[in-house]
Amino acid sequence: MQVVAIGKMKEFLQANLHLLDNPVLFISSEYYAGCPNCNSAATIFRPELLDRKSLGEIDHLHQVTDHKFPFDVFIKIPENGEMPTRIVVGTRPAGSEWELVIRQIIY
């Protein structure tokens, strides 16, 4: 699996990395079954910059090795979920700051 960064990621990291002792990029995923009649099931991915200590209580973690971030990247995939082959993480404006968003997921 590969994680790629686009957008204003450099500015986001410069503004936020110093706030954490041991930062990691954590991409969480939650599966929502939805309605069986209309096939509305969905998996929602959310990227977050966290401290490594907060990963201790999270199940189903997979470490991503194919990336160019200056820190480790982890992804949480549900038990029955499929692992994407590529995730593109970007930024978007959130007021006067930037926030992390998923731009593309390739299975």
Alpha-carbon distance 64 to 25, whole Å? 10
For 1-31, write each residue's pLDDT tens digit: 899 999 889 889 998 999 999 999 999 988 7
Domain that holds residue 84: 2-106
CB-based contact 29:75 (threshold 8 Å): yes
CATH number at residue 85: 2.60.300
Angstrom CA distances, 94 to 9, 20, 51, 54, 91, stand at 14, 20, 21, 24, 9
Task: Give pTM, 2 decimals.
Answer: 0.85
For 39-91, write each residue's pLDDT tens digit: 777 788 999 999 999 888 778 889 999 999 999 999 998 777 788 999 999 99
Number of structural domains the chain divides into: 1
Report the relative pairing of strands 61-64 and 42-51 from DSSP bridges: unpaired
Query: According to the model, what pLDDT value does residue 46 have?
Result: 92
What does the radius of gyration of the chain's CA atoms come to, in whole angstroms?
Answer: 15
